[in-house]
């Protein structure tokens, strides 16, 4: 039961969309015993707010390492619930456990690769830039399309995604300071300049 946990940590909008509907089946808890909620990213926090769940902690940087820095030490209760993708970095649960928390990881969803249509690959080869919004998207795209389908400018939503791109041999040109889709689009537009035109 949710009331058994002191914190629930959401790392993505996907985790919110797949896990929160299950919460409606649980009995409500009183404000005094309410489980606190942490969210990585403004989009994740907005999704939770939209579901009527108050968010108690959003780290300054939208990465697991920043959440670990901001997360309080255990005081009384020690249980954390972490609904997340089936494949994810272990930085967060390991860091919380090191800090003294008991962490239960729940597989809330799976990300699966899809093969890009041939016309999409052709368009990518003619594009000025490509954006990656997760480390898994880097691997999926390169495994399916190959490095020759990467445009001259590579933009990544955050440092984890950028690190994955660099590990695959890509030179990363754009990483916004705020790790949101809006900030990524703005940073890429600024990098490309006013003369850049969308394909289509």
What lies within 8 Å, CB to CB, of 32 at 6+ separation is none
Q: Which of 56-70, 115-129, 132-146 has the lowest mean pLDDT?
A: 115-129
Domain ranges for the chain, please list them: 2-109, 118-192
Dump pLDDT digits (tens) for 71-119: 999 887 789 999 987 777 888 999 999 999 999 998 887 776 666 677 7
User: What's the CATH architecture for 2-109?
Assistant: 3-Layer(aba) Sandwich (3.40)
Are 2-109 and 118-192 the same fold in CATH?
Answer: yes
User: What's the CATH architecture for 118-192?
Assistant: 3-Layer(aba) Sandwich (3.40)
Assess contact for 20 and 49: CB atoms under 8 A: no
For the chain, the straight-line distance linking the first and the last C-alpha, in angstroms and rounded, comes to: 50
Dump pLDDT digits (tens) for 2-36: 778 999 999 888 888 888 887 765 444 444 457 89
Phi-psi region of 141 (alpha: psi -120 to 50; beta: other; left: phi over 0): alpha
């Amino acid at each position: 039961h949710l009331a058994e946990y002191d914190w629930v940590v959401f790392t993505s909008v996907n985790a919110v969309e797949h896990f929160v509907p299950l919460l409606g089946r649980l009995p409500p808890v009183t404000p005094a015993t309410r489980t606190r909620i942490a969210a990585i990213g403004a989009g994740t926090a907005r999704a939770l707010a939209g579901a009527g769940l108050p968010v108690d902690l959003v780290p300054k940087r939208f990465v697991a390492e920043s959440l670990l820095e901001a997360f309080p030490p255990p005081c009384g209760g020690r249980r954390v619930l972490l609904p997340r993708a089936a494949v994810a970095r272990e930085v967060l649960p390991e860091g919380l456990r090191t800090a003294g928390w008991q962490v239960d990881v729940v597989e809330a969803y799976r990300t699966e690769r899809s093969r890009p249509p041939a016309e999409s690959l052709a368009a990518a080869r003619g594009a000025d830039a490509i954006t990656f919004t997760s480390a898994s998207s880097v691997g999926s795209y390169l495994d399916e399309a190959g490095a020759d389908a990467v445009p001259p400018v590579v933009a990544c939503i955050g440092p984890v995604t950028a690190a994955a791109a660099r590990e695959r041999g890509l030179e990363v040109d754009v990483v916004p300071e705020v790790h949101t889709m809006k900030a990524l689009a703005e940073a890429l537009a600024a990098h490309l300049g006013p003369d850049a035109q969308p394909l289509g």
